[in-house]
Each structure stands twice: as structure tokens, then as C-alpha cells.
Structure 1
Amino acid sequence: MLIPPDPIQRFSDLFERAKQAIPVDPNAVVVATVGADGRPSARVVLLKDFDSRGFVFFTNHESRKGRELLAHPFAALCFYWQPLEEQVRVEGRVEVVSDEEADAYFKSRARGSQVGAWASLQSQRLGSRDELETRVEDVEKRYAGAEVPRPPHWSGFRVVPDRIEFWHSRQSRLHDRHVYLREPDGWHAQMLYP
């Protein structure tokens, strides 16, 4: 079997198929980080962009994942599209996106999500739902009739891949696995046993 040479183009083609097959959040991806104690932590985020530079998602940098990524700038992503019987795993170092990228994406968000980025002390203990709703009301009042600016603690992370693995389900658990490793001269692909 011939392995396509470009993993980013392969991902793009597969992602288009996923968008057709999955009506809600086909861009949902599990991101795994590691804490200072060496313990892994995983959660679902939404992929907002990807290109040859990497895979981008946005978050509060003061959240648990934000703090972990700033302290230990490596992450793993895992996409699983059950209707396609496809999985893609991405691993690599992490970098903060430019202010221009973060500003542009923040402006594209619904106003409620912009307000929420200011109101939520993400990952911190919350005493009650009323406390959160009061914070939302306060932010709405602060920016009534005005554009909501991007909070300084809110931006994006780009996972710059050095390893991308494609998995396709096959009978008898004899799945297809292709891994791409980034070398100084470009991507190199190989097959893996299932």
C-alpha cells in the first residue's frame, strides 16, 4: 500500500470527510498535557485551524491546560471519527500563536463567548452558578455598547507536530497504522503493526 507523502494534506482530506459525516463538532479533539508532577491530563477542545505549521486551539492561559502547556510546551492530540473508523494522533512541541492570530479569532467568536472568556476563571474553584452568572453580568455591563477586547490571558496554542499517526479500523483488529515522523529533510512515513 502506497502511503501518501504529506500528512497535513492527508489530514485535510480526512477532516473534510469527517465534516460531512459528523454534523456536530467534527473538530473536537482530545488534548493531553502533563503537569509539574508528571501526571497526564486530557480534555476535549475544538480545533480552530491547521496548516503546515501545526494544529491550533484557543483557551485561557490561566486554565490548567494553559498553565501546563506554558510550563511544559509539548502536547498530544487525538481525533477519533467513529463514523469513518478513523483516528489521527498528533504529537509535538507547543507554541503560543501570534497576537494577531488570537485577536482575529477572538473577534470571530460570538459575543457571549467573548464575555465568557473574561468572566470565567477557568479551572479555578467555583462557589456557585450564581457567582459565575454575576461575573458574566459584570462583564456585559463593562462592555455594554462596545466591542469586547481579547483578554490578555486568552490566546491560542499551536501544536507543531513532529509525529502524526493515522489509524484506520480493519477486520479482526488488523488495523492500518501509518506514522509520519518529521526529520530535518521533511516527513518520513512508515507502517506500524496494529
Structure 2
Amino acid sequence: MTDLTGLRLSYTRAELRRADLHPEPLAQFQVWLQEALDAGLREPYALSLATADQSGRPSVRTVLLRGADERGLTFYTNFGSHKGHDLAVNPQAELLFHWAEHERQVRAYGPVARVPDEEADAYFHARPRESQLAAHASDPQSAPVQDRAALDATFAALHRRFPEGTEVPRPVFWGGYRVTVQEWEFWQGRPSRLHDRFRYARQDDRWQVQRLLP
């Protein structure tokens, strides 16, 4: 295996000063996300979602951001998945966005709650038809499956069950979660590992901003 100890980059693209920050962290996040979208970065709305079960065992996986507004950050999944089980017993999570090309990352932490059914319905029916069928086919998500052929057979059966022109109903086991962010962190890579880091922490009804040591 290649020796990894000497592999490193020097981050020189930009700096982040206190004066650059928007007073509202959501607005700051939206600016950075839009810059990533405008630059053509690959799936900049993809995020690492960290959860923990009742015993404190952590797990992390990649999901897609599907909403970012004053209510919080929203993603969708199978309620019976590993993350769904974690969130049922420990409804809090941390999200990480990493935009390597921009030498930036954003962390967001807060409690998690399911989105209303009507909102989940609207998003589900806005998805491509194949994705709607896949949501049915992958239940219970994360459970063992005999082989790929068994999964493909289930998918084919769903095509017959819901032929083209018929509505695919949203499964009762599938929907959205929203993270009400209580703490944000914005990180900009800098040379010599002296990175710029700022944390927004919710205190009463205001955001307190602090620079953090790298």
C-alpha cells in the first residue's frame, strides 16, 4: 500500500474573515451552496449524515439535501433504515458538507423530526418514476437480500404492479426528516493548516458567532 503520511495539499484558494460572514448562518450556507452549484461541482447537495443509536454507537452515510430554509435542512429516506432506527430512539443528527474543490466544509447539528405527510407526498411524486418504484423495492432498507437477481425481480414486479400511467403511492415507510439546526460551523482551508473556522451557536433567539482554533 502507498505510504499516506506524506500526502497532503496546501489550501490556498481563499480566506474567511469575520467581516465576510452573513449574520444569519442559513444565508451564509445558501451563498456557499449556490457558489458550489454555479461552479458545477458534482452533487454539492450531497451530505454526510451522522446519527447514533440508543447505546451511542455512531453511524454515518451519504444522503441528499432536499430543502434548506428557515425551518431547517431536509432529507428523505426509508423510516425502517439504519438511520431511521437511530433517529427513532435518538432524534438528533449532525450533517457535513464537503466541497473539496472550494476547500470548504460546513457542519450543522440539531434535533430531527419527520416532515408532514403532505410535504413528503409532494416531494415523492416530484421524483422520477423509477426512483418512486425503487423506494418500494428497497424495503426494508439495509436488510440482507439474497442476490442482485432477487432485487431486480422485485423491481420488475413493481413495474407490473404500477404500469406506466398509474400513480405510484408514497410508501408509508418512506418520508422526510428535518434537522432544526442549533449549531453551524463554516470551515475554509488555509495554508499551513491554519484554517479559518467560525461557529454559529443559537443562544436564546440570537446567533452567537465565534472564531475557532483550526
Which TM-score tier does this pair reach, normalised by the shorter chain?
over 0.9
**Higher Rg:** 2
Cα deviations across residues 10-56 of structure 1 (Å, max 9, x unaligned)?
Answer: 00000001112244211110000002331100000010111011100
Cα deviations across residues 97-141 of structure 1 (Å, max 9, x unaligned)?
Answer: 011110111011000000000111210001111111111112111
Task: Answer yes or no: is the 8 Å Cα contact 2:41–2:101 preserved in 1.
Answer: no
Structure 2 CA distance for aligned equivalents of residues 64 and 88 of structure 1? 24
Map of 1:130-149 to 2, 5 A cutoff? 130-144=149-163, 145-149=165-169
Matched, 1:152 2:172: yes
Letter in 1 for 2:71: R
Give the structure-1-normalised TM-score. 0.97
**Residue 96 of structure 2, aligned match among 65, 75, 78:** 78
Report the equivalent of 2:3.
none
Matched, 1:123 2:142: yes
The alignment partner of 1:83 has SS state of helix
Letter in 1 for 2:161: R
Richer in strand (by share): 1
What displacement does 1:170 show? 0.7
Letter in 1 for 2:207: W
What displacement does 1:89 show? 0.2
After the TM superposition, which parts of structure 1 deviate over 4 Å for at least 4 consecutive aligned residues? none
Matched, 1:8 2:13: no
Report the equivalent of 1:108.
126
Map of 1:1-194 to 2, 5 A cutoff? 1-2=18-19, 3-121=21-139, 122-144=141-163, 145-194=165-214
- Taking only aligned residues, the RMSD between alpha carbons, in angstroms, comes to 1.0
The alignment partner of 1:161 has SS state of coil
Letter in 1 for 2:179: V
Structure 1 CA distance for aligned equivalents of residues 81 and 104 of structure 2? 30
Identity, % of aligned positions:
44
Structure 2 segments unaligned to the other structure (5+ residues): 1-17
What displacement does 1:70 show? 1.6
Going from structure 1 to structure 2, the CA distance change for 1:23 and 1:177 (only over 3 Å counts) comes to closer
Structure 2 CA distance for aligned equivalents of residues 29 and 21 of structure 1? 18
Letter in 2 for 1:63: S
